[in-house]
Amino acid sequence: MTVIARKLRSFWNLGPTGRGLVLRFLGTVPLVAIGFQTLGVPRTQSILRRWSGKTARKLDSATRADLRVTTRKLHGMWLRYLRGKGNCLLESLTLWALLRRRGFDCELRVGFKSSEGRLQGHAWLEDAGIPLNEEAAAARSYATSPEASCYDRATKL
C-alpha cells in the first residue's frame, strides 16, 4: 500500500499542469500507436501537427520551466512503467504534439549511429538545444540533421 501511496503522491506533486500532461499522454499514446500502424509515421505526424495547432504563443519562463521538468518526469515514468523496446519515436512524437498544444514549441530530433556494425536510430525532443526526454550525453552520441525532424510535408525545413 505504501508504494501506491508514494506513486500517487508523486503524481499529485506534479501540479495541475503536470498531471494534465501525464493523463493526456496516457490517453494519446495508444492513438498515436494505432496511427503509426494504420496510417504510417508521416500521416500521423501531419494529423498531430493539425491537432496541436499553431504554437506561436509566448510562454513565460516559469511555465516553460515547469513543462521541461514535467516532460523529464514523464519520460522517467515512460521508461520505468510503460515503455516497450524501440518506442522512442512514439513517446517523442506524442509529447511533441501535446507540448505544442500547450504552446511549448520544442523540436523533434531523430539521430542515427553505428553500433557493432548495425545502424541504430533514436528520437527525442529538444528545447533550445537541450534534450527534454533524453540525457544530453546520449543525445550527442547520435548524428542528427541541423533541422528538426519532419516526416510530414506540412512545413518546409
**Per-residue pLDDT in tens (0 to 9) along the chain, 157 residues:** 687 888 788 888 877 877 888 889 888 999 999 999 999 999 999 999 999 887 556 778 888 888 888 888 888 878 777 665 568 899 999 999 999 888 888 899 999 998 888 998 899 999 888 899 888 999 999 998 877 777 775 554 4
Q: Is the dihedral of CA 145, 148, 151, 153 positive or negative?
A: negative
Q: Is 79 inside a domain boundary?
A: yes
Phi, psi angle pair for 107, to nearest 5°: -110, 140
Q: How many domains does the chain have?
A: 1
Domain containing 85 equals: 2-103
Specify whether the CB–CB gap between 12 and 66 falls below 8 A. Answer: no
pTM tops 0.75, yes or no: yes
In this structure, what DSSP letter does residue 82 have?
Answer: I
Q: Is 135 inside a domain boundary?
A: no
The C-alpha R_g of the chain, in whole angstroms, comes to: 16
d(CA 16, CA 2): 23
Q: Is 125 inside a domain boundary?
A: no
